[in-house]
Structures are given as structure tokens and as C-alpha cells.
Amino acid sequence: VEDREVHYISLQGVIGETDIDDRYGDLDSRTDSDISEIPASSDRTPEILKKALSGLSSRWKNWWIRGILTLTMISLFFLIIYMGSFMLMLLVLGIQVKCFHEIITIGYRVYHSYDLPWFRTLSWYFLLCVNYFFYGETVADYFATFVQREEQLQFLIRYHRFISFALYLAGFCMFVLSLVKKHYRLQFYMFAWTHVTLLITVTQSHLVIQNLFEGMIWFLVPISSVICNDITAYLFGFFFGRTPLIKLSPKKTWEGFIGGFFSTVVFGFIAAYVLSKYQYFVCPVEYRSDVNSFVTECEPSELFQLQTYSLPPFLKAVLRQERVSLYPFQIHSIALSTFASLIGPFGGFFASGFKRAFKIKDFANTIPGHGGIMDRFDCQYLMATFVHVYITSFIRGPNPSKVLQQLLVLQPEQQLNIYKTLKTHLIEKGILQPALKV
């Protein structure tokens, strides 16, 4: 009898589990072909362009639209560079928010029929929390002297990480309370969707701003290299492309890929030479509390001072000279440009695979001929991470300005102890003379 009861209970458990899987596991059994196609975005091309290009084939019409909009965006980018570092930071923040919106909107459209409670609200709440954490860290690192004068900011900075964790925890609890029995798995999928989107957009944009603080040149050369690679690869592929490169992007060709590589390396080398001449681009971006603004004034490091190099034998024969004067940063620009043209495009291939998975052509229709903002910046995020790792691994040393800012927020007794320790250390090294005893 006991064996029969055990068998009955086990069988009941199996039936129960099967019933649950049948009821709530339909999502796991869905294939790519089951995902409903998202409606195509409306054409937002200005009417004046449509009329001007009406006599052209669709291929050339798209070429001209992309070209005109590209020149317009580059012109606006130059204007923002002229307006200074703070405007560039606002630009990065705006792009980050728009990219997040485009990816989250795809998730909402794909699963809109399920009417998930609080999905979009919680997604934007988590975006706010993560931005509060990262930008708070930036304020603590680079605005220490300004924070020292404001008592309210001192409290926020002192307990910044605890406040950030408390805000995230509130969102986490709201998500748990929003769980609906028939949508458990789907809600966890969308929870993961939101967090991966945050990882792709917010974390990378934070690294872009960190690179900017190292000097505008570390922001401009990588970004412009990716833009150059996009443009030249498109042009080489448009006019000379014959051999498909990858199935994820049928329009990408080997001719475009190779042509983009050589063009980008040459462009990066020249851009590095031009920008290295100006303090505005090479000096670290610092906040000066006395003038209440960002400044880019410094004595350029050796990285941005002309050095003489001996050429290898094969280059001596080509250039007919034995030595050449270069900025050391130009050598680093070769590494940045190589990554932008060889590895950077894989960010675009990843985005292409993502779009194919959800049967969409573009992330949005924000820019006519280009798609969404994410379509234009899919390679930039990968580049930002590489530049940050490159700087921390091969370039960055101790930052005297940052150390000084940290010292200024210490208590007077702590500052005095550091002064005495530093003085003793310099005397022992023979840099300072010991005080004479009377």
C-alpha cells in the first residue's frame, strides 16, 4: 500500500509538473519563426529630399540620403566639440538614453500582447538608478573641490554607494511584487533584457566619459576612427564590393572591409598628428572651482611632444630618409584605428544578428537612411571599452591633479600627517634638504 501511495504521489507530481510546463512553458518552446514580425517603421525622410531624389533608383537614392545626413551629423558633431567638454558629456548621455529606449522598445513590441505589469516603468527606473550610481562616482572623482563647498553634496557623496544600492533594491522589490503567475518566465526574460541593455548602454557610455576626462583626443580619435571606418567601408563596398563578408550582414563585403581598414589607419594617423598640436585636445579635462567650469590647460606630456624615430630599413628605401619626427600618440593611434576597423565592426555584426532575431531592419527610424541611433553607435560601445582598457593598461600613470583633489577633502589632521610623511620621504631621497637645527 505504501509503495502504491508513493507511486501515486510521484505520478501526481509528474502530472503536476507537466501541467505547469504546458501552461507556462510555451514561451521556451517558441522558435525564431514564432516571433511575430515588428511592423516596419515609417519613412521619415524630409519631403524636400524625396522630391529632389525622386528620379533616382532606390540604391542611389539611399546613397544620397545617407551621404547628406552623414555630413549633417558630422557638422553638428564639430559644433558640439567647439562648445566644449560639458556639451560632449551631455551628448553622450543623450545618445545613451536614446539607445536604451530603442532596445527596450523592441522588447516591449515583441511581447506587447502579454501586457506585462510595470515592465517599462521598471526599465526606466533601473536606468535612472544605474546612471545615478555611475555619474555619482564621476562627481566624487573629478569634482571633489566643488563637493567640498556644498554640505548637501558631501552627504550624498559620502553615502553614495549605499544610496545607489538602496534605490536598486527598491526596484528589485517592485519587480518581485509585480510577478504574475502565468508570466513568471517571460517576466524574468524581460528582467534580464533590461539588465543586459543597461550593461550595453550605460556602462559603456560611462567609459566614454572616463576616456574624455583623460583628454579630448582619447575621445575624438577612437570615435572618429569608427565613423571613418563606417563611411569608407560603405563607399568601398558600394563601388567595388563583390565578395560577401558575413551572412549576418549580406551587404557587407570583403572589399569594403579591407578598404575601410587601410583608410581608417591612415585617417587615425593623420588625425592624431593634427590634434596632438593643441592643448585643447591633449590636456586632461579638469573642473576648476575658481572659474566654475571645465578647463583643458596643462603642459603636454611626452605622449604629445615630437620625438625623433629611426626608420626600419624597408621604410628608409621607400621614404628616402633615415629619421622621422612623430608624436608618440600617433603610434598609439595605429592600435586604436586597427581595433576600430578590424574588431569594431563585430559590434555591428552583433547588432545585425540581434535585428535578424527579431525580424527588424533597424532599431528605429530616427535618422533617415541610417535607422536608429543604436544603428550608428553599435560599434562605438565596443570601441569605448577597448580605449578604456588600453589607457589603464598602457598609458595612465598616477594623476597628480586627482590625488590633490582627494587630499583637499581630508580633515586638517590627516592632511598634516600626509605632509609630514611626504616631507620625510623627500628628505630621505635627497630631493629636500633637512632643516638646520639652531
**Cα-only R_g, the chain:** 28
pLDDT given for residue 44 in this prediction: 65
Residue 11: its H or E element: helix 2-24
pLDDT given for residue 333 in this prediction: 96
| Spatial separation of the C-alpha atoms in residues 219 and 212, rounded to whole Å | 5
Residue 49's identity, in one-letter code, is: L
pLDDT given for residue 119 in this prediction: 83
23/116: higher pLDDT: 116
Residue 326: its H or E element: strand 323-326
What residues contact 208, with CB distance under 8 A and at least 6 apart? 92, 219, 380, 384
Count of structural domains, the chain: 3
Asked if residue 25 is part of any domain, the answer here is: no
Look-up of cell digits 558600394: 238
The reply to whether 320 and 413 lie within a common domain is: no
Asked if residue 2 is part of any domain, the answer here is: no
Best CA proximity match to 128, nearest among 198, 52, 229: 198
Euclidean distance between the first and final Cα of the chain, in Å?
104
The reply to whether 139 and 215 lie within a common domain is: yes
- Is the CB of residue 358 less than 8 Å from the CB of residue 327? no
The reply to whether 263 and 312 lie within a common domain is: yes
Asked if residue 18 is part of any domain, the answer here is: no
The reply to whether 214 and 353 lie within a common domain is: yes
Asked if residue 35 is part of any domain, the answer here is: no
The reply to whether 284 and 414 lie within a common domain is: no
Distance (Å) of CA 345 to CA 380, 395, 420: 9, 25, 53
The reply to whether 68 and 191 lie within a common domain is: no
Chain centroid to Cα 334, Å, comes to 20
DSSP 367: B
Residue 244: its H or E element: strand 244-246
Asked if residue 33 is part of any domain, the answer here is: no
> Domain ends where: 34, 67, 83?
83
pLDDT given for residue 165 in this prediction: 97
pLDDT given for residue 13 in this prediction: 47
The reply to whether 108 and 242 lie within a common domain is: yes
Best CA proximity match to 215, nearest among 302, 96, 300, 289: 300
Chain centroid to Cα 291, Å, comes to 30
> Domain ends where: 62, 83, 104?
83
Look over the chain and give the mean of its residue pLDDT values, rounded to a whole number: 83
Quick one: cell of 434?
633637512
pLDDT given for residue 52 in this prediction: 73
The reply to whether 69 and 159 lie within a common domain is: no
| Spatial separation of the C-alpha atoms in residues 118 and 107, rounded to whole Å | 13
Structural domain boundaries enclosing 170: 85-402
The reply to whether 92 and 71 lie within a common domain is: no
Asked if residue 6 is part of any domain, the answer here is: no
The reply to whether 98 and 77 lie within a common domain is: no
pTM: 0.81
At residue 343, the 3 state secondary structure works out as coil
pLDDT beyond 50 at 27: no
| Spatial separation of the C-alpha atoms in residues 177 and 419, rounded to whole Å | 54
Asked if residue 125 is part of any domain, the answer here is: yes
| Spatial separation of the C-alpha atoms in residues 182 and 271, rounded to whole Å | 57
pLDDT given for residue 6 in this prediction: 42
398/323: higher pLDDT: 323
The reply to whether 112 and 138 lie within a common domain is: yes
Sign of CA dihedral 163, 167, 172, 174: positive
> Domain ends where: 30, 60, 83?
83
The reply to whether 356 and 421 lie within a common domain is: no
- pLDDT tens for residues 199-235? 999 999 999 999 998 999 999 999 999 999 999 998 9
208/404: higher pLDDT: 208
Asked if residue 293 is part of any domain, the answer here is: yes
pLDDT band at 253 (very low <50, low <70, confident <90, very high): very high
What integer is the mean pLDDT of 287-291?
A: 71
C-alpha dihedral, 392 to 395 to 401 to 407, nearest 10°: 40
pLDDT given for residue 338 in this prediction: 96
